[in-house]
Amino acid sequence: MNRLILWDVDGTLLGTDGLAAEAMRAAMREVVGPAAPMARTDYAGKTDWQIIRESLPSLTAEAVAERLHEFAAAYLSRMEAQREALVARSRVFPGVTAALEALGGVARQAPLTGNIAAVARIKLECVGLLPLLDLAAGAYGDDHHHRPALVPIAAARAARRYGRSFVGQQVIVVGDTPHDIACGKANGARTVAVATGPYSLAELRAHGPDVALSDLTDTDAVVAAVLG
């Protein structure tokens, strides 16, 4: 168990059919009021903290940081209120469960996601993936606004939990966007890109991951890609 696999959630493991994005926009509007200007921004691969900063240009970065707990509480409340819809409409992508089970015997696995921690938990609960990942060893969108900063946070948490360090390419970042690739490369981690989100295989390869896969359906190929 000398490897730490850090999985992105949205677009890599699962999709919520737009429910989470709707809840996040509604939560931002609830906190800042109906009159505050709200910009449209691409959510893919970004932390929730960064999305809030980009969506609310009238607020300073400091103001967003100070009120992050308010956004998180409002967002979480809306996600909890629509848990039944999330269970009905969310889906695990093909091959995900088999890949997590196969890798669980040889590596530690945790989320590295732009979601705030509580929302990541709900999403994973609603599709039955929670038992396959160690959430306490992961890193989340309320830990830091800058995604590359999440890798050392997760590595430090995993080190405390398992009593050993995970450094360099002992850490593997798996995700579906250039942001996932960049955050892994910035920390010397192994990077595996999966074209199950908004980016094509060619677009992901252009960012130089160690391996790029079209999806996670071939379990043997996924294991080989992750473990190198």
Question: pLDDT tens for residues 40-71?
Answer: 777 787 888 888 888 888 778 888 888 888 88
Mean pLDDT of 16-30: 90
Could you report the per-residue pLDDT of 127-177, keeping only the tens digit for each?
Answer: 999 999 999 999 999 999 899 999 999 999 999 999 999 999 999 999 999
How many structural domains comprise the chain?
A: 2
- pLDDT band at residue 37, thresholds of 50, 70 and 90? low
pLDDT for the residue numbered 154: 98
Query: Are 102 and 27 within one domain?
Result: no
Query: Do both 9 and 52 map to the same domain?
Result: no
Cβ-count burial of 38 within 10 angstroms (0-12 exposed, 13-18 middle, 19+ buried)?
A: middle
Q: Are residues 134 and 78 in the same domain?
A: no
* 76 and 137 belong to one structural domain: no
Contact 13, 92 (CB under 8 A): yes
- Residues 161, 54: one domain? no
Q: Are 131 and 168 within one domain?
A: yes
Question: pLDDT at position 53, please?
Answer: 83
Q: Looking at residue 96, which CATH number applies to its domain?
A: 3.40.50.1000
- Does the pLDDT of residue 38 top 80, yes or no? no
Residues 109 and 219 placed together within one structural domain of the fold: yes
Dist. CA 225–CA 228, nearest whole Å: 5
Point out the domain boundary residue: 85, 116, 132: 85
Q: Which domain holds residue 75?
A: 19-85
Same domain, 79 and 107: no
> What pTM was estimated for this model as a whole?
0.92
Mean pLDDT (whole number) for 185-209: 98
